[in-house]
Structure 1
Amino acid sequence: MDLQAFLITFREALEALLIVGIITTYLNRTDYGKWKKWVWLGVFFGIASSYLVALLFQVVFTGFGTMGGQNYLKIGIMLVSCGLLTHMVMFMAKQSVDFKGKVESKIGVIITSGSILNMVVHSYLVVLREGVETVFFFAAISGGDIQKAIESWGALLGLLAAVVVSVLFFRGTRKVPLGLFFRIVSMFLLIISAGLFVQAIGILQDLGLMGTLYRTSGGEIGEIYNLTWLMPEHPLDYEQYLRDAGQAPLLSGQIGIFFKAFLGYTQNPSLEEFLLYWLYYAGVLALLIREKQKHFRQAAATAPVNI
């Protein structure tokens, strides 16, 4: 969970810090530095509201747990998180081209309107959006224990890494290729998203809410392969294999539980888990290729013609 928390916090905090940094830098450059205090006021309220959302979400999740509906809420959170992360990857693919210019354009419009309230609201919504997304993703990767994810080393290191990258970017002592950063982070977020998706499929099948095309002779959901001998997905599976087979698997269950959380690894996947996992990657790749081709066509259409 620490690695997932790191990547999610890094991505969300980096975008919020970059946007706020671009706003304050733009205000200084346009002689509107006196407005910066209103930007930071919006940031403060955004952080406070995000924390309240985390508390509310934890109460709701705990309430569902006491009513026996926690698994259903968990499935919903995983599927929605998968959708949001996929949308985030697509969004980052578009925005990484001229991220700074687009933010400055929006701030220019706000300054032209001359409304301090608009500046506060804009800063507030920027931070709140990233905060709410972080809370939602933390709920998905931690099984509802949001506080545990917030207090993890991954979350802290992700925040620190985002601060370092932002400082380097705005100080200009080193050029930080944001496009490259966004592509790398997008790749890891895509892996997390696929893992959440396949875990949701597994829970649906365990609860009998989703059928299968492949069953054993005993009527149970069939597995297309079993890698427990290589790497069990949980320490309990490790102990069970050791007891039944009389020998230990090659890799520890602690390693397996890490890959299950990060990659959605399953030691004995069903046909649907295996196929849908790879179909998800194929679908997102197709969307990214289509988006890239669309960008090239638009660039070619707007390019000057030499006569």
Structure 2
Amino acid sequence: MLVPFLIMLREGLEAALIVGIVAGYLSRSGRGDWMPAVWIGIFLAVALALFTGAGLQLASAEFPQRTQELFESGVGFVAVIILTSMVLWMRRAARSLKVELQGSIDAALSGSRGKGLALVGLVFFAVAREGLESVFFLLAIFQQSPGASGPLGALLGLFVSALLGYGIYIGGVRLDLGRFFRWTGVFILFVAAGLLAGALRHLHEAGLWNHLQTVAFDLSPVLPTDGLVGSVLSGLFGYMADPTIGELLAYVAYLVVTLPLFLKPATPRPAAGPSMLRRAGNVR
């Protein structure tokens, strides 16, 4: 329950911040009458994410065992790619996201025709990106940890993120977003490492990966995955009591590559040109 909660808290807060930036800029620039287009974009993005998730879940229920293992492995690999790109993208884009969104709004509303559709499309693609990311890695997590607690945690995380996003928008909540995204980013990378190892296991069970299958160690007698501590570690970090050498190598290699990329200091951005300075001046 904790992993879906934290992931949806982060994803939901990202989407809420994007919507808050758009809504706040429209209000401050005297274009608040365009807010219905924002809500239409949000509704369409949420509908796309829900239909995609439901479709994938229903399709997988009809698969035979080997195909089911292949499907779960594929979802796991896609989830790892999406999680990694999302974390690294947010690290790079966080500082310029507000200015870039506001510039996109100005461009969308500057045309003589199709202003509403352009704004709907802007919000739709921004929110749909977060929604589709959530669909894939929630599917991967639910497959590894079936039960009602996962969906309940995801819904709770989404609800809390909506409350936080609204509080930030009206100014009632002060949150160190840089620190929040940094620490949740580290957590998500550990989750992705566990999903990668789990996807490799599904690939083996489908009969397509039979290398490095020697068990590296077996902690089942002292720390089983069905115990309290083991289940928490499994849910949070993808802990396996008896990983194979291949799964352990995949887990460690992924973290060795991604953690330094994520934690290294951000490269200073080039000095803003006159057009960017004029746009940034509108933020105040």
TM over 0.5: yes
Sort the Cα spacing of 1:131 and 1:147 in 2 relative to 1 into closer, same or farther, 3 A: farther
Aligned-pair CA distance for 1:17? 1.3
| CA contact 1:58–1:144 (8 Å) conserved in 2 | no
**Distance change (3 Å), C-alpha of 1:230 and 1:145:** closer
Aligned partner of 1:109 among 107, 110, 133 = 107
**Aligned match of 1:132:** 132
Matched residue, 1:168: 167
Q: Distance in 1 between matches of 2:230 and 2:259?
A: 27
Match runs of 1:147-226 below 5 Å: 148=148, 152-213=151-212, 221-226=213-218
Structure 2: how far apart are the matches of 1:104 and 1:189?
28
Which shifted more, 68-77 or 111-120? Answer: 111-120
Contact persistence 1:27–1:33 (CA under 8 A): yes
Distance across 1 between alignment mates of 2:148 and 2:186: 25
Between stretches 126-135 and 28-37, larger displacement belongs to 126-135
Match for 1:288 among 245, 253, 262? 262
Change (3 A) 1:261 1:209: farther
Partner of 1:120: 120
- The separation in 2 between residues aligned to 1:202 and 1:98, in whole angstroms, is 39
Counterpart amino acid of 1:230? Answer: V
Deviation at 1:45, TM superposition (A): 2.1
Which digits, 9 at most, give the CA deviation of each residue in 1:112-167, with x for residues without a partner? 225111111222222222222211111100118999577x3311221122123212
What SS class does the counterpart of residue 109 from structure 2 fall into?
helix
1:13-32 alignment to 2 at 5 Å? 13-32=12-31
Whether 2:242 is the aligned partner of 1:268: answer yes
How far does residue 13 in structure 1 lie from its aligned partner after superposition?
1.4
Note the residue ranges of structure 1 that are not aligned, 5 or more in a row: 214-220, 235-252
Q: CA deviation at 1:8?
A: 2.1
Q: Is the 8 A contact 2:2 2:235 kept in 1?
A: no
Counterpart residue number, 1:75: 73
- Taking only the aligned residue pairs, the percentage that are identical comes to 31
**1: distance between equivalents of 2:45 and 2:71?**
26
Q: Hey, what's the Cα distance between the residues in 1 that align with 2:85 and 2:252?
A: 18
Which residue pairs with 1:230 in the alignment? 222
Alignment of 1:139-150 (within 5 A): 139-143=139-143, 148=148
Name the aligned partner's letter for residue 83 of structure 2. L
Q: Distance in 1 between matches of 2:58 and 2:152?
A: 23
Deviation at 1:68, TM superposition (A): 4.2
Q: Indicate if the aligned counterparts of 1:138 and 1:144 stay in contact, CA closer than 8 A.
A: no
Distance 1:146 1:256 in 2: 16
* Aligned equivalent of 2:281: none
Amino acid at match of 1:181: F
Contact 2:72 2:202 in 1 (8 A): no
Structure 1 residues 147 and 263: alpha-carbon distance in aligned structure 2, compared to 1, 3 A threshold: closer
Question: For the pair shown, which has the larger CA radius of gyration, 1 or 2?
Answer: 1
Q: Secondary structure at the match of 1:112?
A: coil
- Residue type at the aligned position of 1:277: Y
Q: Distance in 1 between matches of 2:54 and 2:145?
A: 11
**Aligned partners of 2:65, 2:230: CA distance in 1, in Å?**
31
Q: What CA distance in whole angstroms lies between the structure 2 residues aligned with 1:89 and 1:31?
A: 34
Q: Deviation digits for residues 84-122 of structure 1, max 9, x if unmatched?
A: 101111101112223322222221221222511111122
Amino acid at match of 1:167: Y
Contact kept? 2:66, 2:206, Cα under 8 Å: no
Is this contact kept in 2: 1:142–1:149, CA < 8 A?
no
Q: Which amino acid aligns with 1:13?
A: G
Paired amino acid for 2:133: E
Aligned residues: CA RMSD:
2.5
Structure 1: 4+ residue segments shifted above 4 A: 144-150
Is the 8 Å Cα contact of residues 20 and 169 (structure 2) preserved in structure 1?
yes
